[in-house]
A and B are shown apart, each in its own frame.
Chain A
């Protein structure tokens, strides 16, 4: 249907979700269902001397208490594996249930199954675990110091990996001859994802068939099935069905394979009953993989004209107590490779040390590596604007990769396929009224009182994870294509089976728009099925802003195959040659003979009736594609934040936030704007409020929403959004991805704005989150 692409049609998902009819995992109830509660370590590091479950087992209604002994007795692999590898990566085992040592607060040591969830919790409190507390280290820098408590014997010095990209020597040379250098020590604060729906699992094993159905909160059911069967439960893959019903947010946290889900599967197998577990908010905060947690030293060298000559980055990246599914890839393939930003930088070197700490594992969280890289580059650019005297706008503009330089090969593996950075910045300056703001700032500086600051972030991201060839060349032993099976029914309605599983993004709406546009039919005639390993062919799932670019492209490719097949059928019916047929507005037509045409419905019906087909034409009208992208996509944009700082208290008020993003072609502008709003909230949250804080003993002291501040609507302001459009040249839709852009760009924009406001006080950096007390202390120091 013409005009359906690029239109803000309403989300078909919403009527059920906003009237409470959405079925989430915890809503599911099945006959004979029991409930699990997990006994967790209160210590960051301890030896388990013994476990006495007798008081729990004695409670009427308690069905079982399982420990590591039961995992061993079950004869299953019993581990939680890491999915992405690096050269020389240390991979100490992560047992499903801790056997002799716990390594973070929240580590599972036992599970109780009971007839109801209250009883299960009561019984879990009665499991007596005899711990011998050991020294712990929670801080990523402290963990690297000599004599730091060891998290794993297999990883001396707590080093999980030592990785680098780029050329150290050429960077050293650039610094040796630089006219200007700026440098910075920064922390990228640890974040807790906080999906509204906590993780949940309902595992139903049936010994009569040997089959297990697992309903769970998953962003990638097939990947979960693979890891669950291969490494944890040791079941045949074809005997396990994983279903992701409605999933209420994830931000990455529901990509990863966790011990808890495997434990509940084991419980179901042992009891031959369905068993459900839903994390409490306290449990999600202790066990959902956290994000970020870097300590970085970085420096930029520039020549006398303010052109960048070299960038040096050295990062210690926390892995937490165990390597989570994607963890090693995040501060490497998704971080070091992004260090060129929007700039033409002739020499870059990035060194990353992956560090075990006695904390919750760290893994991909909205943006995953790219917010950290953007923060490094854009904080340095702010300092470079000051050091060169060019200011934040000119220093960026002078260093942008020029529009005629694409495709542009960076010094850190990635080759940018397209881009045009100047217009996005121009538009942002125009929207924000930069010159007026500068005058206002000057007069406030003269008059004292509350100061205003203007901060920029010109970001690049690599989306559409992940072209097998590119990540394969970097050492990853996996690529991330996506699958789509598109079936046209005899009445010309369509069902799409996509490997890209939605957890709130609106796949059903946008994917139906893709099909409707390409096939020339009404989006209402398209159904989208996802999130069930028994219904859908193997798929990689939803993360890394990949669903439109990779999942959508797979769908487009399948639709194209269907049109080609339809041409053959139509050619047969019209007694024409398939080469002479064209497809337009839902009809197959013989070129040059407008009266000789067949509607899609006619062809679809005949595809299934198939009673007089020639030998070389198969019945049916469906096509499956596995789309492996040629490259990442490279969305970009410039964000500008304006803040007011109350120097008397250190409080920061957001005044304006303008974002100009180039995400390529847009399928549904409303959904794109919604993604930006959510990402901005999370990125601004990181800059101003969010912080996962561990004390020296490894206790998570910001473990509840009383202490961990996620942004609320009254903390934020209306965002001013606009777009430029540079289509992706290498996928059939020209789309790039938008799910993470807001979270990637905004932390640097906010911090740059605050630092700009405080320039008269000689302040050049404050670590996130910029709490009022930190700002006040900086002003008064």
Chain B
């Protein structure tokens, strides 16, 4: 577990980090280091230069304004899980962050590093897709944002360009009458999600007016399930089960612990349970 030779640079600002990225070909940004360093120790990644952005305070913090929450990319999972702002405005994101790894991992790992790594078993991506969050990126030529649903492109692949830094994510705050839940089927070895189901339900006058379900772990990227059949329904257990059974994955991923078929099955079960939990929280 000894990484190959690499140079280490520490950026003092986002601008400096962007400059270093321009300067060093194939350089890698490091935030909490909890995805990159294991890859380097296994020599699966051998970047010639590591640019440490872990101390950039400008990329840390959680705030709410104008009906949306903003989470800086260097905010740790522990801070997200314990955030009062999120507890009030977007508790499902905090719930998912609390499922990541163990206490040490949550104390070091960051939301930006997590989603930039884009492990299919990560807990955050399905929640961001469910919420309709946007991912904000900065490059020397300016800033842009991309919808979470478009951000995750494939296994370990995202929309982040080589010259870009992920600065923050924004998600709409959950409104009145909306309940959301994240349920995780944990891999006993890695602690990643074999299946992670994120669901939301909005209820008005006893009727469902909106519902969403996104399942992680089944495919290379989060899989949105069409649960529109719930809109207008009374959210009965049967209606929820029928909606969740719509989960479909063309090329499900599998490993020695859980095959693709099994993941799809568990995705449906956990999707059902997440929707039911969201319903119970909505009322």
Contact = CB atoms under 8 A, between A and B. Distances in A.
Interface of A: 117-118, 121-122, 125, 280-282, 648-649, 651, 688-689, 691, 693, 701-702, 704-710, 712, 715, 771-773, 776-777
Nearest to A776: B262
Given A117-B2, A773-B257, A649 B189 contact: no
A118 B258 contact: no
A88 B260 CA distance: 47
Contact of A708 (B189, B191, B258, B269): B189
B266 interface: yes
Given A280-B2, A689-B189, A649 B257 contact: no
Contacts of B4: 122
B5 A118 contact: yes
The CB with the most chain A CB atoms within 10 A, among B3, B256, B258, is that of: B256
Contacts of A122: 4-5
A702 B256 contact: yes
Given A122-B4, A773-B262, A776-B265, A693 B256 contact: yes
Contacts of B258: 771-773
A777 B269 CA distance: 15
Contacts of A691: 256
Contact of A118 (B2, B189, B257, B270): B2
B65 interface: no
Contacts of A715: 188
Interface string B230-266: 0000000000000000000000000111110010011
B2 A648 contact: no
17 contacts: A118-B3, A282-B1, A282-B42, A648-B269, A649-B266, A649-B270, A688-B188, A689-B188, A702-B189, A702-B256, A705-B189, A706-B190, A707-B189, A707-B256, A709-B188, A709-B257, A771-B258
Given A705-B189, A715-B188, 11 more contacts: A122-B4, A122-B5, A125-B43, A280-B1, A649-B185, A651-B185, A707-B189, A707-B256, A712-B191, A773-B257, A773-B262
Given A282-B1, A648-B269, A701 B256 contact: yes
A693 to B, nearest CB: 5
A117 B2 CA distance: 8
A751 to B, nearest CB: 16
A3 B73 CA distance: 60
A121 B43 CA distance: 11
B56 to A, nearest CB: 28
A706 B189 contact: yes
Contacts of B185: 649, 651, 772
Across the A-B interface, give the 10 residue pairs with the lowest CB-CB distance, nearest first: A709-B189, A709-B188, A280-B1, A121-B2, A773-B262, A706-B190, A689-B188, A118-B2, A693-B256, A648-B269
B262 A707 contact: no
A776 B264 CA distance: 13
Contacts of B3: 118
B48 to A, nearest CB: 14
B189 A773 contact: no
The CB with the most chain B CB atoms within 10 A, among A280, A704, A706, A776, is that of: A706
B190 A707 contact: yes
A87 B266 CA distance: 52
Contacts of B190: 705-707
Contacts of A702: 189, 256
A402 B108 CA distance: 59
The CB with the most chain B CB atoms within 10 A, among A122, A648, A693, is that of: A648
A497 to B, nearest CB: 37
A281 B1 CA distance: 7
**Is the contact region of chain B dominated by helix, strand, or loop, or is it mixed?**
loop
A644 to B, nearest CB: 16
Contacts of B5: 118, 122
Interface in B15-54: 42-43
A688 B186 CA distance: 14
A189 B119 CA distance: 29
Contacts of A701: 256
Contacts of B42: 282, 704
B203 to A, nearest CB: 25
A649 B269 contact: yes
Nearest to B266: A649
A715 B265 CA distance: 23
B267 to A, nearest CB: 10
A712 B255 CA distance: 21
A707 B1 contact: no
Contacts of A648: 269
A705 B256 CA distance: 13
Contacts of B262: 772-773, 776-777
Nearest to B121: A706
Contacts of B255: 707
Nearest to B255: A707
B84 to A, nearest CB: 25
A122 B255 CA distance: 30
The CB with the most chain B CB atoms within 10 A, among A118, A649, A691, A712, is that of: A649
B9 to A, nearest CB: 19
Given A649-B269, A709-B188, A771 B257 contact: yes
Interface string B173-207: 00000000000010111110000000000000000
A773 B188 contact: no
Interface string B76-111: 000000000000000000000000001000000000
A233 B188 CA distance: 42
Contact of A707 (B257, B265, B269): B257
Contacts of A706: 189-190
Contacts of B270: 649
Contacts of B2: 117-118, 121, 280
The CB with the most chain A CB atoms within 10 A, among B3, B189, B190, is that of: B189
A776 B258 CA distance: 11
Contacts of A117: 2
Contacts of A773: 257-259, 262
A649 B188 CA distance: 15
A118 B255 CA distance: 32
The CB with the most chain B CB atoms within 10 A, among A280, A701, A702, A773, is that of: A773
Nearest to B256: A693
Contacts of A777: 262
A201 B189 CA distance: 28
B196 to A, nearest CB: 14
A378 B19 CA distance: 66
A94 B188 CA distance: 36
Nearest to B190: A706
Contacts of B265: 649, 776
B104 to A, nearest CB: 12
Contacts of B257: 707, 709, 771, 773
A381 B157 CA distance: 52
A708 B190 CA distance: 8
A649 B265 CA distance: 8
Interface string B257-283: 111001001100110000000000000
B120 to A, nearest CB: 13
Interface in B217-241: none
Contacts of A281: 1
Nearest to A777: B262
B253 to A, nearest CB: 14
Contacts of A688: 188
A382 B216 CA distance: 39
Contacts of A689: 188-189
Nearest to A281: B1
Nearest to A708: B189
A282 B5 CA distance: 19
A710 B190 CA distance: 10
The CB with the most chain A CB atoms within 10 A, among B2, B43, B258, B265, is that of: B2
A706 to B, nearest CB: 4
Interface in B126-178: none
A710 B155 CA distance: 26
B121 to A, nearest CB: 10
A709 B255 CA distance: 13
